[in-house]
Homo-oligomer: A and B are copies of this chain.
Amino acid sequence: MTNSPIKAAVLTVSDRCSKGITTDTSGPSLCEMLRTKLGAEIVRTAILPDEQDQLAACFLDWCTPKPPALTLDLLLSTGGTGLAPRDVTPEAAARVIQRPHAGLMDLARLRCYAKTPRTFLSRGIAGTINQTLLITLPGSPRGATEMLEALLDILPHAIETLRGDVQDDGRPGASAATGRVINHRD
């Protein structure tokens, strides 16, 4: 099993934050939680408006390994997951996700439900793009951090599995056993 820190990126999705009308607090809150709770290294952040094409392009670009750059393990977005007319983050994500992961969002919502029944109003989805796990979180600082918190215990194992370091059942994975790099299949 590798012990290299989780490489994470956070994308804030908000028309108003992208124009400087409102200050983004959700993005920084997620970065702080990633650093302190998971020991993650934040390698990228950005703020984009609620524009589906721009969001899909950003997801794909950030999740495409470009040598010698490091491969991103985890990409969190915050915002654009609700029912407001311009909320299209899940649609942007669905266009570029290669392997959907409904269970992760189900777990997050289930765990947030007692505190916040409205967590089920979020349309956020999750899935993998190349070697990166993408999770689309709600836009409010509370909604975003509560959902991330609900996944903190499971994310390190998820990322180790995605890296090919372990099997789902905890046995050493092919890359750990052989030292070879596992190439993701498209």
Contact = CB atoms under 8 A, between A and B. Distances in A.
Contact of A121 (B117, B157, B182): B157
Interface in A107-139: 107, 109-110, 113, 117-123, 125, 128, 131, 133, 138-139
Given A85-B164, A128-B83, A123 B139 contact: no
B84 A168 contact: yes
B106 A168 contact: no
Most chain B CB atoms below 10 A, which of A87, A109, A120, A140: A120
Contact of A85 (B109, B122, B131, B153): B131
A103 interface: yes
A109 B123 CA distance: 16
Interface stretch (A5-13, A31-39, A60-68, A94-102): A94-102
A101 B123 CA distance: 5
B103 A99 contact: no
A167 B182 CA distance: 43
A85 B182 contact: yes
Interface in A160-185: 161-162, 164, 167-169, 173-174, 182-185
Most buried by B among A106, A153, A182, A184: A106
A74 to B, nearest CB: 12
29 contacts: A83-B133, A83-B162, A84-B162, A84-B164, A86-B174, A87-B99, A88-B99, A88-B185, A90-B99, A90-B100, A91-B98, A102-B102, A102-B105, A103-B120, A103-B123, A104-B120, A104-B121, A106-B106, A106-B109, A107-B109, A110-B110, A110-B113, A117-B153, A118-B168, A121-B158, A139-B168, A140-B168, A140-B169, A143-B169
